[in-house]
Structure 1
Amino acid sequence: MSTPSTLVEEQPTKVPSADAVALGRRLLAVPLRFVGFWAAVSMPFLYVPLLFEGLTPAETPIFVGLLLLHVVALLAGHEYKQ
Structure 2
Amino acid sequence: MSNHSPLSNESVAPSNPDAGAERYHRRLARSIKGPAQFLAFWAAIALPFVHLPLLARGLGDPDAVLAFSLLLGCNVVALYVGHDHNRE
TM-score range (shorter-chain normalised) is: 0.7 to 0.9
Q: Counterparts in 2 of 1:1-82, with a 5 A limit?
A: 15=18, 16=20, 18-58=22-62, 59-82=64-87
- Larger C-alpha radius of gyration, 1 or 2? 1
Length, aligned pairs only: 71
Determine the C-alpha separation between the residues in 1 that align with 2:24 and 2:86.
23
Aligned to 1:3: none
Identity of aligned residues (%): 32
Deviations 1:10-49 (A, max 9, x none): xx99542654433221101011101100000000000110
Higher relative contact order (CA 8 A, sep 6+): 1
Q: Give the Cα–Cα distance (whole angstroms) in 1 for the partners of residues 52 and 25 of structure 2.
A: 42
Match of 1:7 in 2: none
**Structure 2: gaps (5+ residues):** 1-14
Q: Which runs of 4+ in 1 moved over 2 A?
A: 12-15, 17-23
2:60 is paired with a residue of what secondary structure? Answer: coil
- Residue in 1 aligned with 2:12? none
Unaligned runs of 5+ residues in structure 1 are: 1-11
Q: Which amino acid aligns with 2:46?
A: S
Aligned-pair RMSD on alpha carbons?
2.1
Please identify which structure carries the higher helix content: 2
- For residues 69 and 41 of structure 2, what CA distance do their matches in structure 1 show? 20
